[in-house]
């Protein structure tokens, strides 16, 4: 179960940050998070993508554009990290009407 930030981040995988490129590890340090606290630890895409089911829970109009970008046919994971996580058997998006308003 993951939330999505207004910038499209998930966990502490932020757009354009080095943690997006970590492979062969299930966790990675984040030293310069754009959101407090600046130092933290995050699960990596490798760990998140091991899940059988991934559920995104998103609410609010501030996240509508991030949802649109995550589900769009174009764009990159570097721009919208939420694009980079899928469950092995299912990926489900639970959105309120405000978060879905840009779809």
Confirm whether 45 is domain-assigned.
yes
Q: Would residue 87 count as lying in a domain?
A: yes
Is 103 within a domain? Answer: no
How many other CB atoms are found less than 10 A from the CB of residue 29? 13
Residue 43 lies inside a defined structural domain of this protein: yes
**What pLDDT score does 80 carry?**
99
Instruction: Tell me if 12 is assigned to some domain.
Output: no
CA dihedral 85, 88, 89, 95 (to 10 degrees): -10
Range of the domain at 51: 18-95
Q: What is the pLDDT of residue 72?
A: 98
Q: Which residues contact 72 (CB under 8 A, 6 or more apart)?
A: none
- 6 located within any domain: no
Q: Which of 80, 87, 79 is nearest to 55 (CA)?
A: 87
Asked if 45 contacts 20 with a C-beta cutoff of 8 angstroms, the reply is yes
pLDDT, one tens digit per residue, over 37-69 is 999 999 999 999 999 999 999 999 999 999 999
The average confidence (pLDDT) of the chain is 97
Tokens of 13: 């995988």
Provide the pLDDT for residue 77.
98
Check residue 45 and give its pLDDT: 98
Model pLDDT, residue 100: 99
Interval 3-24: pLDDT, tens? 999 999 999 999 999 999 999 9
Count of domains observed in the chain: 1
**What pLDDT does residue 65 have?**
99
What local confidence, expressed as pLDDT, does residue 69 receive? Answer: 98
pTM, entire model: 0.93
Counts of helices then strands in the chain (DSSP H, E): 2, 4
């Amino acid at each position: 179960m993951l939330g999505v930030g207004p910038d499209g981040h998930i966990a502490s995988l932020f757009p354009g940050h080095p943690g997006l490129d970590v492979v062969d590890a299930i966790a990675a340090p984040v030293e310069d998070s754009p959101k407090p606290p600046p130092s933290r630890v995050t699960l990596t895409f490798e760990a998140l993508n091991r899940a059988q089911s991934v559920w995104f829970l998103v609410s609010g109009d501030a996240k509508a554009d991030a949802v649109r970008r995550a589900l769009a046919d174009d764009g990159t994971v570097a721009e919208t990290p939420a694009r980079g996580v899928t469950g092995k058997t299912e990926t489900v998006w639970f959105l309120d009407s405000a978060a879905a308003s840009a779809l």
